[in-house]
Amino acid sequence: MKFPTPQTLETIAYLIGSDYVGDANFPVFGMNEIHVVQPGDIVFVDHPKYYDKALQSPATIILINRKVDCPAGKALLISEDPFRDFNKLTLYFKPFQSSKSAISQTAEIGEGTVIQPNVFIGNNVKLGRNCLIHSNVSIYDNTIIGNNVTIHAGTILGSDAFYYKNRPEKFDKLLSGGNVVIEDDVDLGALCTIDKGVTASTTIGEGSKLDNQVHVGHDTIIGKRCLIASQVGIAGCVLIEDFVTIWGQVGITSGITIGEKAVISAQSGVSKSLPGNKAYFGTPADEFRKKYKELASIKLIPDIIEKLDKLP
């Protein structure tokens, strides 16, 4: 998430009430999660296990809960609660805007696009040409939709990320300041939910087709011409490369990569990254040949036990 105008380290420290290490005029251009940070971004870290990852990331401003040695060319924001203060910045730079009408006056709608009754289109939405948006679709603020996109009834674009910190007294929500991007020629079935990114974009690539009741978590990127069947659940920060096929009721854990042209069979559970150009099934999902050998071996167990029982 980039700020509307460049900020300084001193200004950001003032906004969150923190100390800082570095030049007061050190430039700050935005804030992002660790997997999408760029130079000029703030990244937050609140556990020693991840200090080095944050300090050595491309981010040049680290919001951290302990004073540590600052890498050359970077700056620190010292906070007792980086999670809380990251939320403060999201609220300041991307505050919630209530809507005054079903279709916001700030929305841009392309020529030839058809919007059926009872559709909600939020603030600053960009909707391309020749799209068809069926009834009861909700398109939250800042969503970007390309040309020739079809979205079926009840689908929601831009719901909040499912991202919480477990505190002793409650679950504390990480606020979402990102958006959803739907590229050209995408079809979304009925009752799909596409969560917006925490600070970046959740993206559905050109020509991809999602069946009914598919869930896509925050900051996930789905490549071009992917085919995803009904009731698939994809967690946050997943990278699905081009031409991937995922059949019904597959569950995919967060932060992994599915390689180009992979095929995942129905009801599989994907718990690790999978290379492309291969077919997978099972829980945990693995290559077809390997899984079939495992199943064949399991079927032999009763006979093996029976033979062992007959031994003298």
- Chain centre distance of CA 81: 23
Q: How far is CA 139 from CA 15, 98, 104, 127, 241, in A?
A: 31, 13, 10, 10, 25
Q: How far is CA 25 from CA 21, 71, 72, 294, in A?
A: 11, 17, 16, 61
Longest Cα–Cα distance in the chain:
85
Tokens of 72: 């050359």
Tokens of 191: 């009752």
Active site members: 218
- Which amino acid type is present at position 234? I
Cα–Cα nearest to 252, from 262, 242, 240, 243:
240
- Chain centre distance of CA 216: 7
Q: Where are the alpha helices (DSSP H) in 49-111?
A: 51-55, 82-93
- Which amino acid type is present at position 233? G
Element (H, E) at 182: strand 179-182
- The count of other CB atoms within 10 Å of the CB of residue 168 is 4
